[in-house]
Amino acid sequence: MNTDTPVWKCAVPTPLRRLFDYRPPKGWNGKATPGMRVTVPFGRRSLTAIVVQEARDSDIPLAQLRSASSVLDISPLYPRPLLALLQWAADYYQHPVGEVLPVGLSPGERRGKPERSVAEAGLTLTERGQGLPAGAPHNARKQAALIDRLRQGPVGLDQLKTEGFARSICQALLNKALATTCDLAIAQRWESLPPPFTANEEQQLAITNILAALGQFSVHLLYGVTGSGKTEVYLQSIAACLTRGQQALVLLPEISLTPQTLARFEARFKAPVLALHSGMGDAERDKTWAAARSGRAAVIVGTRSAVFTPLMKPGLIIVDEEHDPAFIQQDGLRYSARDIAIKRGQLEDCVVVLGSATPSLESWQNADTGRYQRHVLSQRAGLGRLPAKHLIDISGLSLSAGLSNEIIGHIDRVLTDGQQALIFLNRRGFANALVCHDCGWNAECQACDARMTLHKAPPGLHCHHCGRRHRLPATCAQCGSARLVGSGIGTQQTETFLSERFNAFPVVRVDSDTMASRAAMPALIERLKSGEPLLLIGTQMLSKGHHFPDVTLVAIVDADALLFSPDFRGEERLIQLVTQVAGRAGREEKAGEVFIQTRQPDHHLIAQLDAPYHQLLPALLAQRLQAGLPPHGALGVIRCDSQDKQEGLDFLTELRKHAPAPPGCRIIGPVLAAMARRKNRYRCHMIVAASHRGALAHGMRALVASAEGTRHSSKLNWSVDIDPYESL
């Protein structure tokens, strides 16, 4: 229905995949700008919504439209490319736009608070102050010195305090109308310190190619072996970006990596370098968000969600460890921060650098086909050399806490030589399960289809899926026997054994139980720098790009864990994990060795683990091509969870009935998830496999439309997952 009254089509933060029409607030005479925030009545609530479009028509009669309550922004808080990115993400990931647009706002802005001011207060001379002769006022030397200082231009109040000008001296000039406060202008160019060493030939070639591309969109895959100096390539590329007066965004996979990276960047650049991650408080995030939007922040270093940070003048986006699953958001808006970064680079017309020693098959394939430029760092920087890898066949061997006598002997040798060793076991806890020796009973989680993990410090049974915890039972719940034993090996058990076997040396366990605080990992890294001989035992947290200069031995306890995974990415993850963990050894002048325990030494993948990572990829890509799986195909999933097992299956069956697979797609399921029950809810899914992304988008839209039109109980939830990463 056409009308002379403007109609605001707003994205409201609800799970409904549609825009909602409102009239402007009473007395509003201005024009709505896409991206500005408004408060709107929604049912009995008042919500912060985003205006997407001003129109002259609505499907609802004008008299029935409610009016927006107020306008929060005269101009939108979103830079135009960021708003376009968020709208693209809502469409690509098929998620409600009202839930997507708020991720481009700071926590306070999502709640309707005004944009935080980041203007730095400064002092500048008035016309009267500028007219004073040199050395005046002669009876106040400090005031005269301050006037001379301000003749060079406005200066920040904090800077004046650093230079020895007390606040009382500044106030005296203000009282005499010789100076006035001002907002300092945003610096257009920043400085960086010279590199501490000369880049090698491979590094310099990568830097040269990246710098030549600044100012336009391109994607560069920086494939460098562990310890090859990828960070130096990042730093020199960022320095050139800052020289152009542009900002850089650096994404890291883990919060634990942020402090050390931030310190390295702050030491290199004479420019504001700010962190942004979920471990920060809302007020701190609001401040960083505003600094990035205003252009005052030169470099933003953040984790996954920082990809949506507003930037005034972006010039470079870096995704370090681009293969890492931590860049995948697994709930709510399910997205890949790496893929969002690439799309953002296209919209912002800036360079994107993806760095990794173990690139994902998707990125490698894109480089093979010429979509990305590939740069290779094949040698470690400085005196470091890649460690030698050795397989240990443990079939039939007697093990101590999962360790063979050969591994124990090598650990003894390394510690005696005054060096450090790293033991990798990707299972936390003491044992995988608590089992009755007499009847075979297992302690199972009451809320999940999973066994409880036995922990000894503190003692108890933990479910690693829902978080439930129970005391250790004294007897078997089934037969009453007191002979309860742990089954399987966890980091706590191996830690206990190593502490007893090597009691003269510190043993440090690194997993999510011991590294819960933000300060834990930085403190560990500082301790390792002392060079004292010690043993590290931990999970994949140890594989996240850390630099351990004195680790010369890495022992991988169970290389077979992902070998027969039902997930099609299992083999890719295995070689990535082994390569990354092995890369912690021999990073400086001390040579390193890696020992890999396996019961499958003849398996084609295990047998080739000593080969360079890239040599293993063609076979994996050929397997994916034959199966029509990514990167040679596209996948989407409709996920469902409910309190009743059959309700979810029936819901998905109904969707499939009303939305058959379009050409180029096939639908698999519905089927129960590998772990059907989690947190007392039953999970099932339906997979759409397509030959290309266009067909997938078409097929998924039909299923989503069917889902939105299918009645179901309020106890059932469903969601969309495009390009799924976790196990199907």
Question: How distant is the alpha carbon of residue 17 from its chain centre?
Answer: 26
| Residues contacting 469, CB < 8 A, separation 6+ | 460, 461, 462, 463
414 and 272, same domain (yes or no): no
Q: What is the pLDDT of residue 705?
A: 93
Q: Is residue 77 part of a domain?
A: yes
The pLDDT of residue 158 is above 90: no
Q: What is the pLDDT of residue 53?
A: 94
Q: What is the pLDDT of residue 30?
A: 82
687-710: average pLDDT: 94
Strand, helix or coil for residue 331? coil
Q: Report the alpha-carbon distance of residue 236 to residue 192 in Å, rounded.
A: 9
Q: What is the pLDDT of residue 3?
A: 60
Residues in the chain: 728
Range(s) of the domain holding residue 101: 2-110
H helices, E strands: number in the chain:
21, 32
Q: How confident is the model at residue 187 (pLDDT cuts 50, 70, 90)?
A: low
Q: Is residue 728 part of a domain?
A: no
Q: What is the pLDDT of residue 56?
A: 87
Lowest average pLDDT, out of 137-141, 270-274, 596-600, goes to: 137-141
Residue 332: Cβ-neighbour burial (10 angstroms; 0-12, 13-18, 19+) = exposed
Whether 50 contacts 101, CB under 8 Å: yes
Q: How confident is the model at residue 656 (pLDDT cuts 50, 70, 90)?
A: very high
323 and 240, same domain (yes or no): yes
**Percent of the residues in the chain that have a pLDDT greater than 90, as a whole number:** 69
DSSP 479: T
Give one DSSP letter per residue of 76-139, joined into a string: -SS-HHHHHHHHHHHHHTT--HHHHGGGGS-HHHHTTPPPPP-PPEEEEE-HHHHTSPTT-STT
User: What distances in angstroms separate CA 480 from CA 50, 444, 483, 487, one per listed residue?
Assistant: 61, 16, 9, 18
Q: Residue 503 CB: number of other CB atoms within 10 A? A: 8
Q: What is the pLDDT of residue 529?
A: 80
Whether 652 contacts 670, CB under 8 Å: yes
652-671: average pLDDT: 91
**Domain closes at, from 132, 156, 183:** 183
Q: What is the pLDDT of residues 317-346, one digit of tens each?
A: 999 999 999 999 998 999 999 999 999 999
Q: What is the pLDDT of residue 727?
A: 56
649 and 557, same domain (yes or no): no
**Domain closes at, from 110, 137, 163:** 110
Strand, helix or coil for residue 261? helix
Residue 637: Cβ-neighbour burial (10 angstroms; 0-12, 13-18, 19+) = buried
Q: What is the pLDDT of residue 36?
A: 95
Q: How confident is the model at residue 156 (pLDDT cuts 50, 70, 90)?
A: confident
Q: Is residue 669 part of a domain?
A: yes
203 and 281, same domain (yes or no): yes
Cα angle, residue 702 at apex, residues 698 and 707 outer, rounded to 5°? 145
Q: Which residue, among 319, 428, 347, 452, has the nearest Cα to 88 in the 3D structure?
A: 347
353 and 290, same domain (yes or no): yes
Whether 210 contacts 219, CB under 8 Å: no
Q: Is residue 542 part of a domain?
A: yes
Q: What is the pLDDT of residues 70-92, one digit of tens each?
A: 999 988 999 999 999 999 999 99
Q: Is residue 563 part of a domain?
A: yes
Model pTM?
A: 0.89
Q: What is the pLDDT of residue 728?
A: 58
Q: Is residue 137 part of a domain?
A: yes
Q: Is residue 364 part of a domain?
A: yes
Q: How confident is the model at residue 580 (pLDDT cuts 50, 70, 90)?
A: very high
Lowest average pLDDT, out of 141-145, 169-173, 281-285, 547-551, goes to: 547-551
The pLDDT of residue 312 is above 90: yes
Q: What is the pLDDT of residues 500-557, one digit of tens each?
A: 999 999 999 988 888 777 777 778 877 878 889 999 998 888 877 777 888 999 999 9
Strand, helix or coil for residue 214? coil
The pLDDT of residue 188 is above 60: no
Q: Residue 463 CB: number of other CB atoms within 10 A? A: 21
CATH number at residue 338: 3.40.50.300
51 and 131, same domain (yes or no): no
Q: What is the pLDDT of residues 92-109, one digit of tens each?
A: 999 999 999 999 999 999
Q: Which residue, among 66, 69, 61, 59, has the nearest Cα to 112 in the 3D structure?
A: 69
Helices (H), 583-691: 604-607, 617-627, 645-658
Q: Which residue, among 593, 575, 596, 584, has the nearest Cα to 547 in the 3D structure?
A: 584
**Domain closes at, from 565, 592, 621:** 621
253 and 173, same domain (yes or no): no
215 and 157, same domain (yes or no): no
Q: Which residue, among 489, 682, 501, has the nearest Cα to 597 in the 3D structure?
A: 489
Q: Report the alpha-carbon distance of residue 453 to residue 342 in Å, rounded.
A: 40
606 and 661, same domain (yes or no): no
- Rounded to 10°, the helix 617-627/361-368 angle is 90
245 and 338, same domain (yes or no): yes
CATH number at residue 660: 3.30.70.600
Strand, helix or coil for residue 489? coil
113-140: average pLDDT: 82
Q: Is residue 449 part of a domain?
A: no
Q: Given the structure tokens 């680079």, which residue do they identify?
A: 345
492 and 615, same domain (yes or no): yes
Cα angle, residue 266 at apex, residues 263 and 269 outer, rounded to 5°? 150
CATH number at residue 23: 3.40.1440.60
Q: What is the pLDDT of residue 185?
A: 60
Q: Given the structure tokens 């079939």, which residue do they identify?
A: 395
Strand, helix or coil for residue 223? strand
Residue 102: Cβ-neighbour burial (10 angstroms; 0-12, 13-18, 19+) = buried
227 and 292, same domain (yes or no): yes
Whether 321 contacts 363, CB under 8 Å: no
Q: Report the alpha-carbon distance of residue 450 to residue 324 in Å, rounded.
A: 26
Domain count, the chain: 5
What would the 3-class secondary structure string for 639-655 be? EEEECCHHHHHHHHHHH
Q: Which tokens belong to 216?
A: 């336009």
**Percent of the residues in the chain that have a pLDDT greater than 70, as a whole number:** 98
